[in-house]
């Protein structure tokens, strides 16, 4: 599946905070994205040179935002709406650092419930066959 819309146009972020590199697949119910940005030495989420596994929450949030925009392209305004993570729950970390994995990360989110102003998704971040972080996110859309 080819996506002609640039990732930057789907998010309310500017580089270097655009963490997702590409979209592998999506449907109305889920999205799978891929990234190598966890290996970037200048990644803004690095702390003391390390990428904690819990920054994966931001990766999942960006995948959620991209999914929402792709599923509402015809109805949404040209500018992405800003959102916040209200709750990160049921988190299970299977490692301590994202940058321990030299291969691309895959970020999958699945819609559990959604309204015009909020989403509840499950997510899993994996490196190859290994899941590194999984959980649920509730995101709220903020009106400017």
Q: Is CATH 1.20.1050.140 what the domain over 7-142 is classified as, yes or no? A: no
Half-sphere exposure of 5 (CA within 13 A, CB side): 14
> What are the residue boundaries of the structural domains of the chain, listed by start?
7-142
What pTM does this model have? 0.90
| pLDDT reading at 16 higher than 50 | yes
For residue 89, count other CB atoms closer than 10 A to its CB: 9
Convert the pLDDT of each residue in 24-46 to its tens digit.
Answer: 999 999 999 999 999 999 999 99
Q: What is the mean pLDDT of residues 80-93?
A: 89
Torsion-angle region of 128 (φ positive above 0: left; ψ -120 to 50: alpha; else: beta): left
Contact between 38 and 53 (Cβ < 8 Å): no
């Amino acid at each position: 599946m080819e996506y002609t819309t640039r990732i930057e146009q789907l998010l309310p972020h500017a580089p270097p905070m655009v963490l997702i590199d590409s979209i592998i697949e999506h449907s109305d119910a889920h999205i799978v994205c891929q990234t190598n940005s966890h290996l970037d030495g200048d990644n803004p989420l690095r702390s003391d040179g390390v990428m904690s596994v819990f920054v994966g929450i931001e990766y999942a949030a960006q995948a959620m935002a991209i999914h929402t925009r792709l599923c509402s392209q015809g109805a949404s305004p040209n500018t992405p709406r800003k959102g916040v993570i209200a709750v990160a729950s049921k988190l299970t970390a299977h490692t301590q650092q994202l940058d321990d994995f030299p291969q691309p990360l895959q970020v999958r989110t699945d819609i559990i419930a959604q309204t015009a102003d909020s989403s509840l998704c499950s997510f899993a971040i994996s490196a190859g066959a290994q899941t590194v972080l999984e959980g649920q996110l509730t995101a709220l859309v903020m009106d400017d």
